[in-house]
Amino acid sequence: MNQHHVRAAVFSAGSWGTAVGKIMADAGTSVIMHARRGEIADTINTTHRNPGYFPDVELPHTLTATTDPAAALDGADFLVLSIPAQSLRTSLAAWAPHIGPDTVIVSLMKGIEIGSGLRASQVITEVTGIPAYRVAVLSGPNLAGEIMAGQPAAATIACPDEDAAHRVQRACHTPYLRPYTSTDVTGCELGGAVKNVIALAVGIADGMGMGHNSQAMLITRGLAETTRLATAMGAHPATLAGLAGLGDLVATCSSPLSRNRTFGTHLGHGMTMAEATAATRQTTEGVKSAEAILALAAAHDVEMPITEIVSELLREKVTLDQAASALMQRPPKPER
């Protein structure tokens, strides 16, 4: 019997795109990375490394790169999208004509679009016209650097079509990555987007010199407000207690590898937004998504005090001390 060789196109060759490209290649999938810059594609093809992100890690030789979106997408079973959430709409519109009729799209993005308030999977269906059952999301506690080092991790793959979720699961199951399936796309995406804002808060607290009690308070109450929003938008509460909720929140809020947490730490040390931005090279989704998440909270009549105060800090409307006391001086209430 002729065995179909599974192929994935990964757009683009940033930190998480490269890591997921490696995962899929290690799982036996042929991978073509789409890089915007020719020199990155050439370097991946000739040295099997992506030196701008992971100079020390050799990539599997079944992973190649191109700058040509049509070539990358030709015959692809999966289109894996890993670019900044706010650039998704424009970038995807240019790539969409090359997407095949059976290609399943896998979103790795953890952000909410400013203005529309849409989750990445919703932007994808809107821009491409591809039905939701062909769009999956992969989320969870997955700091790219640890995955590239081959450390054990798990992720959730959510898609309304369970069969599609299983296909993605098979295409990225390796000895170091254990993917679970789910149908709760909303819960997975909101868990991933809101944890970035909570990680900013934890980083800010850490930068201000606060210890683990304060940080645990923000993580726990952060999970409470994430769950409130997600369930109001139709998510299953168990998803928020799972890998794409609590799991990712704990990893991101604990790790110095997190860009969001690190950005928060810069602010907590007293940097201005301009200084913290200048000190940050890679995508920091929470900085952009905080405002969009707050708009969703307002639309669904959900209280999100931590997101609200982080958003005010990001807009430089309050000082660090004002932010801390605003949270602590909220009216006492039952724990929910």
Ligand X SMILES: O=C(CO)COP(=O)(O)O
Ligand Y SMILES: NC(=O)C1=CN([C@@H]2O[C@H](COP(=O)(O)OP(=O)(O)OC[C@H]3O[C@@H](n4cnc5c(N)ncnc54)[C@H](O)[C@@H]3O)[C@@H](O)[C@H]2O)C=CC1
CB of 248 to ligand X, least distance (A): 5
d(CA 242, CA 238): 6
The reply, when asked if residue 140 is annotated as ligand binding, is yes
Choice from 23, 109, 165, 251 touching ligand Y (CB under 6 A): 109
Q: Among residues 128 and 307, whose Cβ is nearest to ligand X?
A: 307
Per-residue string for binding with ligand X, 118-157, x by CB under 6 A?
-----------------------xxx--------------
Both tokens assigned to 236:
């299953």
Question: Could you report how far apart the first and last alpha carbons of the chain are, in Å?
Answer: 57
Name which of residues 130 to 149 contact ligand Y (CB under 6 A). 142-144
When CB distances are held under 5 to 8 angstroms depending on the partner's kind, the choice from ligand Y, ligand X, none that residue 199 binds is ligand X
Give the active site residue among 195, 288, 317, 333: 195
How distant is the alpha carbon of residue 78 from its chain centre? 18
Contact region with ligand Y (CB under 6 A), list: 11-19, 123-131, 204-212, 313-321? 11-19
Distance, C-alpha 306 to centroid of its chain? 20
Of 76 and 193, which CB lies nearer to ligand X in the complex structure? Answer: 193
To the question of whether residue 228 is assigned a binding role by annotation, the answer is no
- Picking from 246, 29, 234, the residue whose alpha carbon sits closest to that of residue 140 is 246
Residue 147 · residue 230 · CB < 8 Å: no
- The answer for residues whose C-beta is within 8 angstroms of residue 268's C-beta and 6 or more apart is 203, 204, 205, 206, 207, 208, 209, 320
Residues numbered 21-50 forming contacts with ligand X, rule: CB under 6 A: none
- Confirm whether residue 133 is marked as ligand binding: no
Could you give the residue numbers annotated as active site?
195
